[in-house]
Amino acid sequence: MSSLIQTYERLLAAFGPQHWWPGDSPFEIMVGAVLVQNTAWKNVERAIANLRDAGLMSPHALYAVPTDELAELIRPAGYLQVKARRLRSLLKFVDEYDGSLDALFQTDAATLRERLLSIHGIGPETADAILLYAGGLPTFVVDTYTHRVLARHGWIGYEAGYDEIKDHFESSLPQDAKLYNEYHALLVRVGKEYCHKTAPTCESCPLADLLPSGGIVEPM
DNA sequence: TGCCAGGCCGGGT
DNA sequence: ACCCGGCATGGC
């Protein structure tokens, strides 16, 4: 069994830097983090383009948009009613810092994470994505690909929960935002290309020789 | 055509 | 403390 850092180095060598998060500004990254919930990034790009084209990609401008109007703008990202409300709850939070993300990220990481989690529509993954990719804070982001790739390769059990997986990484890696950034992006890359939900195949999977049993670990 | 995508919430066990 | 249905659009 290789260590997590060895796996990281192998993935980085194989795929190179992923240049995450795709987005021009911390604010756009925050918005994208909500819009991408259980949604293909492709669809999110259109929604973001709509907001940018309308000149709304700033905290105050976007907060001034009524919920139903916001829903129409983000339609391509799906769950439009739900996400419009979630965006507004996040915007209300940002507004408490007068729309200054610099001010917002002055808060210490643990406190800020708690505050983000208290926002309606912000769960652990969205909170961590905001902290890491918008704020540059060293917190590991766990997503469905992270879970599937690790479980299928026998590194964790399928029953492992969010915090368990997060701790798995954070306790065995240096606390380094750049490392967490790239690692998560690489896991998503591998998941998309080799670790599909159905019809799992590990042929040519870059992690194949890390499998403890020489095969895929199937869920119960 | 059906299944899936970079979740989260609320109600029911 | 889990488990499940709901939420919606676009790509393959």
What are the C-alpha distances in Å from A180 to residues A94, A121, A151, A184? 24, 24, 19, 6
Q: Please state which CATH number belongs to domain A26-134.
A: 1.10.340.30
Looking at chain A, the domain(s) classified CATH 1.10.1670.10 span 4-18+141-210
Q: Considering all nucleic acid strands, name the nucleotide whose C1' atom is nearest to the C-alpha of residue A76.
A: C9
Looking at chain A, the domain(s) classified CATH 1.10.340.30 span 26-134
> φ, ψ for residue A18 (rounded to 5)?
-95, -10
* CATH label, A4-18+141-210, candidates 1.10.1670.10, 3.40.50.2000, 3.40.50.970, 3.30.1360.120: 1.10.1670.10
pTM of the model: 0.96
Peptide bond into A21 cis (omega under 30): yes
Predicted confidence pLDDT, tens digits, chain A (220 residues):
578 999 999 999 999 999 999 998 999 999 999 999 999 999 999 999 999 999 999 999 999 999 999 999 999 999 999 999 999 999 999 999 999 999 999 999 999 999 999 999 999 999 999 999 999 999 999 999 999 999 998 899 999 999 999 999 999 999 999 999 999 999 999 999 999 898 666 677 888 776 655 567 777 6
Q: Is the CB of A146 under 7 A from strand B?
A: no
CA of A53 to C1' of C3 (A): 41
